[in-house]
Structure 1
Amino acid sequence: MAKDRTPDKSRATGGGATRSGGRAGGRTRPPTQVVAQQRPWGLIAAAIAVVVFAAAVIGYAVVQVREADALRVDSIDEIAGAQVYDYEGGLHDDGPIEYTESPPVGGEHANLWADCTGTVYDADIRHENAVHSLEHGAVWITYDPDEVSDADVETLAGLVEGVSGRMLSPYEGLDSPISLQSWGHQLKVDSADDERIQQFADLMTYKSDSFPEPGATCESPAFLADPLLESDDAAATQ
């Protein structure tokens, strides 16, 4: 006769043994790892730097615009000391010409014009050729080399280089340190830092209705390659 079997308690409890500190049966879960979220401080710093830089650039641009607006004039009458003369264009003569104003601002002139594509000359160019450039709408800035420093010449050159319709040259015997000419207009100043220089240049470069030949080019490759000088005329008359 079969005997009733009783549960083997030792097996039910895993042989009486406990795991991991007396906990009976099952598997012990590993402790949960808590990972702290890292803030991208490098990206945040870079973004702030970009914002600060952009604000500085915008601020600088605003200041420059305000300064330009402060210097802007709409009429030659707004520039103190500027002189206005009445000349007709179209009269050509390749010989030496006596001019009333010095530097000249209009009248008869040579057939070939001086290059005025933002050109900086280091010698006194022939005046008859320069006047023809004025007829094309150029502004001609001149200076007395005995009265103006190299630094001042650099300042003046900064207003000319790369700007079509402008040219710069020394002018022997000038009665002021600096003189600016456009067709029928002139301004003489004592300092390269005078704000009227930029006012005159900005207003009169290719100013519509102020010169005889609108649309005429300032390019003159032949003159640029071999500029004619005022000293050449002086030597020929001696």
Structure 2
Amino acid sequence: MGKNRRQERLQQRRSQPSTPAAASARPAPKPVPAWRHTIDQWGGPWIIVAGVAVLAFIGWIAWVNRPVGVSSKGLMGEAVQIAASGHVTSPSELQIPEGVPPAGGPHYVNPLPGGVYDQPVDDGRVIHSLEHGLIWITYKPGAISDAQLKELLDLVDGRKRDVVLSPRPENKDALVATSWGRRLVIKPGDMKTVKDFISTNLNRSPEPAVR
């Protein structure tokens, strides 16, 4: 009797319709957004990485060339008349005064970056730097002491973006500060005047804050 019941249950199970496969019950995949197709066409995630890198580079350039505060005080130093200030290619086209650093005039295309230089630099390049608002501090080798030179080095070391410090044997004076259109002879060791000249005359030029 029990055997017959088991056979009946087995037959009932076999006669019941089978349920659909689990796979057929899965929801249809969501459509891929149009922007995803565009990204895939342009290289996938790498285009996003490249875009972020470009934006970061642009931001860095903007920070490097950020505007710097300009003093409202009267310019320091003797006013220097500047007749012309175009680009030239030959040293003979430069207008270099005798015994003093130039404070403007014709200059070479490539400006000299700010910083400390232990050898004389090219006047034609520094003139272009002055046009961009930098300050040029020159000293006559042998006319200032090692201690005075160290003070200058320490001062400019923290302002290399804005100041050029270099020896200039042609100078008749021991220490001269120069900006575009201005020149000031300073007594060696008078660091206050050097600092004041930098803060007052910095970026007061035809093309200020360009670096």
TM-score (ref. length: structure 2): 0.60
CA RMSD of aligned residues (A): 2.0
CA distance 1:73–1:155, shift in 2 (3 Å): farther
Q: TM-score, normalised by structure 1?
A: 0.53
Q: 1:73 to 1:90 in 2, by over 3 A?
A: closer
Structure-1 residue corresponding to 2:107? 109
Tell whether 2:154 aligns with 1:158: yes
Given the alignment, which residue of 129, 133, 138 partners 2:129?
A: 133
* Structure with the higher helix share, 1 or 2: 2
Shift of 1:87: 2.5
8 Å contact kept, 1:89–1:135: no
| 1:191 matched to 2:188 | yes
Q: In the alignment, which residue of structure 2 is the partner of 1:74?
A: 73
Cα deviation, residue 173, structure 1: 2.5
Alignment of 1:1-238 (within 5 A): 74-76=73-75, 79=76, 82-87=77-82, 90-96=85-91, 97-100=94-97, 102-116=100-114, 119-163=115-159, 164-206=161-203, 210-217=204-211
The 3 A distance-change label for structure 1 pair 90 and 106 is closer
Task: Structure 1: give runs of 5+ residues left out of the alignment.
Answer: 1-71, 218-238
Rg (Cα) greater in structure: 1
Task: Please tell me the residue identity of whatever aligns with 1:155.
Answer: E
Checking the alignment, whether the CA contact within 8 Å between 1:89 and 1:212 is kept in structure 2 is no
In structure 2, stretches of 5+ residues that fail to align are 1-70
Distance 1:175 1:150, change over 3 A: same
